Amino acid sequence: PLVGHHMTPSQVSVTRSKPRFTVPSMKNPSRRSLAHVAKRKKKYGSIDPQAGADNDYVKSSSRFLTFGISIMGVLVAASLCLLGTLMIGYGTCSSTPVADMAASCAESPFWGLVGGGAVNNTNKLPPVPVVSHAKAPSENWGKLEPPYPTGAWWLNLVLTPKRAVAPLPYTVVIDNGSVQICYPMKKGLISYKTKEILQTFSAQFAVTDQSALPSGENRELEITDYDELSVTVRVPTPSGKVSTHLTRGSPYISVKFDGGTPALWSYNPIRSMERGDFHTKVTFKTGETFVVYSEPKINWAVASRGKTGVRSQILGSSNFHGWIRVAIVPPVHPSPLPVLDRHYRVIPLSGSVNYTSDPNSDSAYLDYSFKTVTLKGNAAFPSNVEPELLLLAASHHAERMNLSQARLELALYRNVPFSRTPAMMNNLKIVKNMTKVDRQDEQAIALGESSIDGAYHCMKGALMGVTGDSWRLHVELPQARWNGERSIPSHLRDYITQAVKRDIYSLTDSFDIYNFTKQAARLARVAVIADELGQTQYRDHALSSLYDAVTPWLNGSKTDNHLVYDKTWGGIITSAGQINPSTDFGNGWYNDHHFQFGYLIYAAAVLIKYDTGDFLENYGDTIRAVAADYANPFKEDEFGHSSVFPVARHKDFWDFHSWASGLFVMDDSKSQESSSEAVNAYYAVALLGDAVKSPQLKQWGRLLMAMEVLGARKYWHMPSWEEVYPEPFGKHKMVGMVSATRAAYFTWFGDLPEYIHCINMMPYTPATPALLPASYVRQEAGILKSSLTRADPPILPAWESLVYMGLAIIDPVTAWNKFLQVKEFDNGLSMTNALWWAATRAGGAAIPEPEEKLNPEAWQCQGAPVCAFDFHGTAWSCCSIPGGCCSTNPIPCCSGIRSGQPPPTPKPTPIPTMNPSDPGAISPPNPTDPNAAPPPAAPPAPPAQPAPPAPGATSPANPAAVPPAAPPAPPAAGPAPPAVSTPPAADPNVASSPAPPPPAPAVVGGQPPSL
């Protein structure tokens, strides 16, 4: 059955399989016994540099326990937990008083089943500490219960202050008892600039109850229902009997009244009002024309035509029980009005999404299903015309629909702000000879000529009319490989192996989850490449280091920051992010989960693929929960739907791509910056499915990945053959940030071209070719190359490494040589992956065989572009990195800086050396090694100042950090000026997308320019 993630158990009845439980493990996965240490020693040999850490696990009794209690003094509580475990499955308890321990265990049973088997315990909490969130859901959520869809396109409705949402083609604000409607493609509401395309909200037309005029008590709206394609809202009026159904792509805004007196108003003065057989047409002096449909029919009366400072008002009949639908009539010829008249009677109430795919297939079908209600209409409408649901599709839908079955109503090419793509034109079938409708106010014309196709536009370009209550979209699935399409050329294998020997020591730690998981994924890539090279010893060493770095985040032994389950909203968050919304780039407020957890899931998938089983045994269910946090499937079947997480938290199933922002009010509704990291997140889910041998989970990950790739290539990439964005904006070839009402050529942390392009290209994995075809990279290559030669400010070495990764797609030989000169890589990139990437591109076989061995001292700052402080202002714990400090910033990178203490005297960190007695083995760094790098001189402590967000932190970590401007007052007449509607500066709850940054200043000390 199709089960919407908003439904409560009382709303839906589903058939569940009988719950199946694994035999509970009595071993605490957060503590490792001496036998376990011996097992890992045997497996990984003497090369494990974390051997001492194993003993620390055994000796320490203060490590975080999965049961959340200390062994000493709580034997009674432990017995209760053990009893609960035996009765209900493996238990996880938060840190609670002894008296509450039994209840805590009972509320936190084992989540799911590892491997490819069934995950039937869909209402069980994941095996991490359970916490309550500092931010409680507002009363706007009504009777809905967690998990809440924190990434939904309509989230502004439930946040304060109220800002617009974008069901498209309209933007809507529901406030003060009114459904306020704006079609922002009108001149004056949309601005086309060199660095951004921006839509501004203005209440062109509004529907309310007369009791709410003039605005009195501001009652809170209430969400009563939602699904993947719609949201139902009870509109706050004194009568309390008004609701609206906002459906993606509807050319109408639908409002239902159960009593009360409907009223229409606008900030624009009325020029004329005409009553027709099916509608009432209202034209404003500012040029807009709206049509109003009502059933039962209403004889509208103008109460005020409006003037400066006074709204125009139109009043309807009292005690009205029925529907009102409003639509703008775009000023195109021929008019789409006959099509609107024909279909207004069919109203969408909900829209759900499902998919079908054979696990062995390279394609899938997305099915959109709409529940509708049909109005009776009136006698003036021809009896032989059957109404159907009319919605609007964007080009990414039309290109994947069976148009002969979708019954599109299309017209010839129109003179509109955005052009239709050639590919779209080739696929569309023009339907002619449709029934004629006689009009009193215009000539009788055929519906086939008066098509709605191309009449409406939004930020995603021209929209096409689609009739019918179901859509089927065919989606080709990209491959989810561990290795690339091409093997490493034989003459380069030894050279890349030398890089592997160095890079297996490169893992560092970071306080924030984003920078840590990037580093974990980097080391995981090294392990996979080592395996491809047949270097299992180096692979296993990397896995050992990765295991020891990742598990403290999972089991809570990393006391300053680890993963917890937030039962308030329904999701995995970081313990530090739970406390402060600006920590971890807003992770605790549900920003960027797919970016951050995507890197973690990739690293975990690698551990599961190659590990002997103890990682999967101890942490498999935690990993499945982290994946479900951002990629929870629709279905309650064998591959893991969980009712404690929303479905695919960040994914927008209408737009295809994801939204990164969470519980922050956004002026531009929703936003995402790093499209490539979103692709990586779903690629990781597919690999996890492969690692745990679940074909269904792998296919689900491939589908999410395919949608993200298609969305990115359509709405972030701007090659010459895509015409979504007009010039001069289109000349940039890459959008930095896509929002519901804005496309921007800048990022949250700056506007340099390498920031904008590279943040939407990294990380580079076997999934990247699906996102970055060579044909596209050739078009953006000139911009990438220009950043390499810019004098002021010069490109930072870490960003230089990412630019060459992109250029390697079209010129791997040059890129290979440049990688050998790079002094500093991005902290998600290794020399190993860079050389592998160049070697396995088309033309990589032409790279000449290196004459000299790789110099292990060539890159002194592996994986830490700013050692002293990361981009978020916290310190890197990178003293273990060979070289100790960055080449561009000689400040010692030690954890003491994090607490504000003066940096300690740096200790020399030697370069790892080959073991002379065994040329095939690696020895850990030797402090007595004469080749060890000398310590750099310790400079003065850096001044305390905030730093811009890290690359990839696409959502505002601190919404108050972006200084907003005061919002303009509502205009008395005419549309609002083309400016961003922003909240008052004193309000810390609103996150405005960053305004275009000023030209970047010269770089000082290797730090990126500060905003």
**Average pLDDT over all residues of the chain:** 73
Please choose, from the candidates 119, 102, 101, the residue with its C-alpha nearest in 3D space to the C-alpha of residue 110: 119
pLDDT at 944: 34
Q: Are 307 and 269 in contact (CB under 8 A)?
A: yes
pLDDT at 968: 33
Q: What DSSP element (H or E) covers 689?
A: helix 675-691
Q: What DSSP element (H or E) covers 51?
A: helix 51-59
> Bridge partners of 12?
none
Please choose, from the candidates 54, 110, 104, 109, the residue with its C-alpha nearest in 3D space to the C-alpha of residue 74: 104
pLDDT at 209: 92
Q: Are 115 and 549 in contact (CB under 8 A)?
A: no
Q: What tokens appear for 132 in the block?
A: 């309550």
CB atoms within 10 A of CB 736: 28
Query: Going edge to edge, which strands form the sheet with 464-467?
Result: 390-393, 464-467, 408-409
Is it true that the peptide bond before 763 is cis, omega within 30 degrees of 0? yes
Planar angle of CA 104, 107, 113, nearest 5 degrees: 125
Query: Does the pTM exceed 0.85?
Result: no
CA distance 356 to 2: 12
CA distance 827 to 800: 13
Q: Are 979 and 968 in contact (CB under 8 A)?
A: yes
Stretches in the chain below the pLDDT threshold 70: 1-123, 214-218, 307-309, 378-385, 402-451, 508, 612, 635-641, 855-1011
pLDDT at 455: 86
Please report which residue ranges of 840-927 form alpha helices under DSSP H: none
Q: Is 476 helix (H, G, I), strand (E, B) or coil?
A: strand
- Tokens 């060493």 sit at which residue? 541
